Amino acid sequence: MFLRKLTVLLVPLGMLLLLCLLTGLFRSMDAYFGSLLLGALLGALLSLLLPLSGATRLREPFAWLLWVPAAVILLVLLYQYLAFQQIGRDLPVLRLLATSDPRIITVETAFAAYMLSFSVRTGKGI
């Protein structure tokens, strides 16, 4: 019982330390890919924190459906990359999705990584 409590205390702190160490590295990279990698790491770490707290069951019957919104977010990220490279900015509807703000790209990638890793961990996977 003590080891479980120690794990619940130390693993999130270790994840936070890893995130703090890698944030500077990711921010020094290209604006798009640095934000992409930071968001992927953040989303994966968030999905790994849930089993530590015991908040999720081992099998969720509909967790595999999370790949659908994750795929939509990944398509948006692909379009944002194309817009970041000045390709395809002329499409009127998709112009709303074009952004070069690294914070938005980080949050979108974190959501996609969270949903994909949660889907693989608790459902049947992709």
Q: What is the pLDDT of residue 126?
A: 47
pTM: 0.72
Residue 93 structural domain: 2-122
Q: What is the pLDDT of residue 31?
A: 81
Q: Per-residue confidence of the chain (126 residues) as pLDDT tens digits?
A: 677 677 777 877 888 888 888 888 888 888 888 888 888 888 888 877 766 666 555 666 666 677 788 888 888 888 888 877 777 666 666 666 677 777 888 888 888 888 888 777 776 544
Q: What is the pLDDT of residue 93?
A: 63
Residues 91, 46 contacting (CB under 8 angstroms): no
Residue burial 51-81, b: 16+ Cβ < 10 Å; e: rest:
eeeeeeeeebeebeebbeebeebbebbebbe
Count other C-beta atoms under 10 Å from residue 16's C-beta: 11
Query: How many structural domains is the chain composed of?
Result: 1
Q: What is the pLDDT of residue 124?
A: 56
Q: What is the pLDDT of residue 89?
A: 63
d(CA 19, CA 99): 24
Residues 70, 47 contacting (CB under 8 angstroms): no
- At residue 67, what is the residue type? W
d(CA 89, CA 84): 9
Q: What is the pLDDT of residue 53?
A: 60
